[in-house]
Structure 1
Amino acid sequence: MTLMARIGAAPMSGYQWLIVALCTFMNCLDGFDVMAVAYTGPSVTEEFALTGSQFGLLVSVGLIGMALGSMLLAPFADLIGRRPLILISLTLGTIGMFGAAMAPSVTMMGLFRLVTGLGVGGILASTNVIASEFSNTKNRGLAIGIYTAGYGIGATLASLVARSTVGGDWRTVFYVGGFGTLLALIVIAVLLPESVAFLEQRRPQDALERINRTLARMRMDSISEADLDQGAAAGKNARQSGSRWLKQLLTPTILLWIVFITIMFGFYFVNSWTPTLLTEEGLSESAAVTAGMAISIGGTVGSVLYGLAARLRPPRVVLIGFSLLSAGMMIVFILSTSILWLGFGIGVLVGALINGCIAGAYTVGPLLYPSTVRSVGMGWALGMGRIGAILSPTIAGVLKDAGASATQLYVGAAAVVALCALALVAVRKHEPDYTPATKEPATA
């Protein structure tokens, strides 16, 4: 039995849940980063005299950085290790956050937003893998759900900081983000171990010692050099057998890309534009931030709720329901914001549902691929999903400048999210357990 198979079959230890918690903490940085620029949008727009298109571009620059970080930095995780890449990425995030806080112009702010995005992209590409690798088979879905909830926690913290600075200096939000990222850098440097899967496959000089030290903390038996040789041989055979995966799985791969693109489009529209749009619709800046905070609060529990629901029904079916409900609640939300308490309640639902969709995509996607190419397939899907994340704020800004109202923008984004359900219906025939229906012979 390979090392990863042993971890998959063994009970989860407290140390493994600690690693999931560390990954969740780092995912909080993503939520804080995206919502920092969203919640400070009205103040940033006023100080730098930005148009809607220019603000949308400022939001998208950070997302472009995240896409580049995922594509350009993530491959180094297989060369130097997950842990070193995370430390490098946290350093970039710290520089970017403090740089944005001190930026004298929107151009400089955009440059530091790009640097922050690079760091966040590198973090996300590695932490998602680590959370999965250190989880057993039974609790992997729940672990990913908890990990995904980190975004909502970070976004909620950003909203609380933003509310305290309404009428004051918006740069405080980015200073807080910078100190938070610096804290994460210190904590991760002290507590996070290297991925045992990386050590098993790459075999650095002290691989066996480091693996056994980690296994001891996980309350698992140590392994020998022979066990490492077996794992390396299995990994080599898996890579060879999966070399032609794209041709064989082209259709489900394209469908999964559509799922990620549509979900990310709606997710980043809701999280990036809500405070600014509501302010321009007549709400006070404080009320707009409160409504945005409701979405963030919902996001902290949505992914966990999805994980619990997926224990009762197939994950794909649950995700179809979440995506359709998300689309419907987005429309209800924008129509209800004139009544603040109602808008707050609906906002919590929107945040829970759309964040649950992200967890659902992480759960449904791996089922479409054999284990030999699962990380490659999901990596491509995540990269394609960033297209929706990047396009969403920019398209919203262009349409807003063209005269679109907040209600029209929300309805359009809801329609995009609803397309996810159609792609998921088509995905069914590509799942491993799918059995085509057969017609019974006609009787005379």
Structure 2
Amino acid sequence: MNLREKIDISPMSGYQWAIVAMAAIMNLLDGFDVLALAFTASSIKAEFALTGVQLGYLLSAGLIGMTAGSLFLAPLADKIGRRPLLLIAIALSALGMFGSAFIEHHETLFGWRLLTGLGVGGILVGTNVLTSEYSSRKWRSFAISVYAAGFGVGAVLGGFFAVALQDVYGWRAVYLAGAGLTGLCFIILFAWLPESIDFLLNKQPFNAQKQLNKITQKMGLGKDWTLPEKISHDQGLSAVKKLPISPLFSAQYLRSTLLIWTAFFAIMFSFYFVSSWTPALLKDAGMSENASIVVGMMISIGGTVGSLCYGLLASRWSARHVLMLFTVLSSCAIIIFIFSSSILWLAMVFGVLVGALMNGCISGLYTLNPNIYAADIRSTGVGWSIGIGRIGSILAPTIAGSLLDFGWQKQSLYIAVGFVLLIAVIALYFLKRPTKIQAV
């Protein structure tokens, strides 16, 4: 039995759960850092006399940065390791938050938000892969769901935290607090975060044997594991010319890559449409501003519950089948939600349900994605899937706004999004069911 198989079948140790907890905390801070501008938008708009278009550009900067981080930082993790990539990404995020606190012109803020998003994009990839690799087969779905739930918790807590800080110290304090917390996270991770076992086995960097046995001893798996014979990946000059993402389109991975990209794009597109437009559309339909914001908060609150529920269900049944069920139910819930929006309590109930189901879908994607690719290209595969999903998240608010300008009614938009989710179901149906994390 090799070490990868031993991890898959063994009970999760306290050390492994501690790694999952570190990933969840990183994701929690990501939720705060990414949405910091949403929490402070009104104050920044007033101070710099921004137009709606200018504020929109600033709000999009974080998402653009996250997309770039997922696409272009992720391949670094397959070259230098998961741990160094995470430390670099967290440092970028902390620097972006710190710089945002001292801007004198709104144009400068765009650059700092781009840098923050770049770091967050790298963190999302690194934490997803590391959580998956350190989890046993039985608890992998739940562990990833715990990690994924951190983002929603950070968004909700960040909102309350930001309100309290702004009232006393002004909007810049929100960014200083985010920088401080992210910097503290960097110190903790530098001291305690281990390297990926799969990376040590596959790439075998300097001192890999010593690192491996130190980690396995903490996991309760002994300290007598040896590195396998290193497989040479040197295939001559032709290999040098290949792009880092070329393996994703090889005969082995092409079908799975296109299908998981389709699922990511469709689900992230739908999620960010609902998150971005629901409060505004409900307000336009006659709901009070406070009530529409409450419904929007219900979607975020439901997300944390949904991620954990998905993880528990997927630990008992097929992760792919549970994800398909969540996606179908999300499609139905979105349509019912918009037709029940005239009744506040009913809208709140279905808002929680929509948030729970759609965040469960995202947890499911994070669970399936690392299983598709071998260790030497896993971060690249995961990063590009998340990046494609982020492109969907960027396009969703813009496309929805254009359709509204063309005369679409809000009910029609939500029905269309319901059908977009069904595209994801079809892609998931044809996606080959992954059986285990591949070590090499």
Same fold (TM over 0.5): yes
CA distance in 1, matches of 2:253, 2:80: 30
- State the match for 2:356 in structure 1: 352
Q: How does 1:32-431 map to 2 (within 5 A)?
A: 32-42=32-42, 44-45=44-45, 48=48, 53-162=53-162, 164=164, 169-223=170-224, 227-230=226-229, 232-233=230-231, 246-275=250-279, 286-311=290-315, 313-337=317-341, 339-365=343-369, 376-399=380-403, 409-425=413-429, 427=430, 430-431=432-433
Aligned equivalents of 1:234, 1:307: Cα separation in 2: 37
Contact 2:248 2:257 in 1 (8 A): no
Paired residue secondary structure (1:291)? helix
Equivalent AA in structure 2 for residue 322 of structure 1: F
Q: How many residues align?
A: 425
- Comparing 269-278 and 127-136, the one that deviates more: 269-278
d(CA) in 2 for partners of 1:172, 1:267: 30
The code of the aligned residue for 1:293 comes to M
Displacement of 1:17? 0.2
Whether contact under 8 Å (1:74, 1:122) holds in the other structure is yes
1:94-133 residue CA offsets vs partner (Å, 9 max, x unmatched): 1212333443443222211100011101111111111111
Distance 2:310 2:398 in 1: 29
Letter aligned with residue 201 of structure 1: N
Deviation of 1:220 (Å): 1.6
Q: Percent identity?
A: 48
Distance in 1 of aligned mates of 2:31 and 2:23: 13
TM-score normalised by structure 2 residue count:
0.83
Query: Hey, what's the Cα distance between the residues in 2 that align with 1:52 and 1:418?
Result: 33
- 1:254-313 CA deviation, whole Å, 9 max, x = no partner? 222110001111222333444555566665655444333212211112122112233454
Q: Give the conservation status (yes or no) of the 8 Å contact 1:23–1:131.
A: yes
The question of whether the paired residues in 1 share the 8 Å contact of 2:248 and 2:254 is answered with no
CA contact (8 A) 2:132 2:367 kept: no
| Higher mean displacement: 243-252 or 63-72 | 243-252
Query: Measured at CA, do residues 92 and 309 of structure 1 come closer, stay the same or move farther in structure 2, by a change above 3 Å?
Result: same
Deviations 1:17-54 (A, max 9, x none): 00011011111123223433334445555555555554
Contact 1:295 1:350 in 2 (8 A): yes
What TM-score results when the alignment is normalised by the length of structure 1? 0.82
1:372-417, Cα deviation, whole Å (9 max, x unpaired): 8665544432232222122123334555666766655544444433
In the alignment, structure 2 segments of 5+ residues that lack a partner are 240-245, 436-440
Residues of 1 paired with 2:404 and 2:161: CA distance? 27
* C-alpha displacement of 1:177: 2.6
Task: Please give the alpha-carbon distance, in whole angstroms, between the structure 1 residues aligned to 2:97 and 2:411.
Answer: 32
